[in-house]
Amino acid sequence: MDYIGEKCPVCHEEFASGDDIVVCPDCGTPHHRECYKKENRCAHAEKHTAGYKWERREQKKNPEGAVFSVCPICHFPNASHEESCARCGARLHIERTDASENSNAQSQYGEPQQYAQGADAASGIELAFLGFDPEEDMGGTTLGEVSSFVATNKFYYLPIFKRMKDMGKKISLNLSCLAFPTLYFANRRMWFWAVFAGLVGLVLSLPSAALNFASSFSEISEAASFVDAVNRHRSFIEELDSTFFVADWALRILYCLFGNWIYFRYVINSIKKLRARGVDGKADPALLTEAGGVRPANMLIIIGIMFGAALVSIYLMAVFLVRL
């Protein structure tokens, strides 16, 4: 939210562009950071028990004839008559600070809330959940729990997950799954899919590995029998390599299209399992974040597993070709 033109209740100076502003999580009153520190409380603290909520002196409207309203969260241009962003769901026209949202913002993000000029800061929840209701059911869990479990890159996943839940869509683009499906699944702790994608990819790469090995080690006497076996069946292996190459990319495209849906189902099922074990993600979102999120070390683990599997596969392929 842009507070330019509003006044700090402590020094009574109007806020200017670039001012360091913090917002009271109880009533939404903006202060200069230094003024808030000086008072060590909100200037309207005595009114909080009566339910006081700060309101703008004058609500800013779209310029007459404006075609677009730019979302303050994701900066997507929306039609000027829209009330919420078509991309992320954040509210576009905020007339006042909402009490319940401020309460949620305080409980999850501490006090006071800090915002930069030009950001949508009517309440912390706008930034935390992109304008969505954290209590919205996502298929047995709440959107707030999903957000805590996803942890990183939630601005990308939450709108996608919400469309999947609301519209039943399963297809979206995940370029990480196109390029590195095994690493993506491992990083997001989806071990079944990581191992599945890794092993299938390994099998589909065996013909190419055999041809490359025969070409690279044709002069080594210890590999002579394997090289001879590959050369005897080269035509068949090359045809198999072409077929497997197409199959590999077909699978990658499927991972790319359905990877987000697979992750969505994994998130929902994981939260349900945690809840069945007595984990209260609403009371302590950190427990969900610890169980979810990303773990880059998993990518190193899966690389090691696949390397070992590759050595075994190459050995078995060599034995098979020699005896063929």
Q: With bands split at pLDDT 50, 70 and 90, how would you rate the model's confidence at 113?
A: very low
Quick check: helix, strand or coil at residue 177?
A: helix
Q: Which residue has the tokens 């969260």?
A: 73
Say how far apart CA 72 and CA 75 lie, in whole Å.
Answer: 6
Q: Which two tokens stand for residue 78?
A: 């929306």
pTM (2 decimals)? 0.62
The least confident of 71-75, 285-289, 318-322 is: 71-75
Residue 214: pLDDT above 70?
yes
Confidence of residue 305 (pLDDT cuts 50, 70, 90): very high
Model pLDDT, residue 187: 96
**pLDDT for position 208:** 92
CB 60, CB 35: distance < 8 Å: no
The confidence score (pLDDT) of residue 249 equals: 96
Instruction: Tell me the pLDDT band of 50, cut-offs 50, 70 and 90.
Output: confident
Assigned token pair, 286: 């950190």
pLDDT score of 123 more than 70: no
pLDDT for the residue numbered 146: 93
**What pLDDT is stored for residue 150 in this prediction?**
93
Q: What DSSP line would sit under 47-67, residue for residue? A: GGGGT---B-SS---PPTT--
Encoding tokens for residue 226?
């394997």
241 — pLDDT class (breaks 50, 70, 90):
very high
pLDDT per position as a tens digit, 52-70: 888 876 544 444 444 556 6
Alpha-carbon gap, residue 268 to 261, rounded angstroms: 11
Could you give the count of Cα atoms lying within 13 Å of 123 in the half-sphere of its Cβ?
A: 29
Dihedral angle over CA of 192, 194, 196, 198, nearest 10: -160
Start-to-end CA span in the chain (Å): 72
Instruction: Check residue 78 and give its pLDDT.
Output: 64
Residue 89: pLDDT band with limits 50, 70, 90: low
Residue 158 contacts residue 150 (beta carbons within 8 Å): yes
Rounded Cα–Cα distance for residues 165 and 53 (Å): 34
Alpha-helical segments (H) within the chain: 33-39, 99-109, 124-129, 143-150, 154-167, 175-179, 181-187, 191-216, 224-232, 234-276, 285-291, 297-323
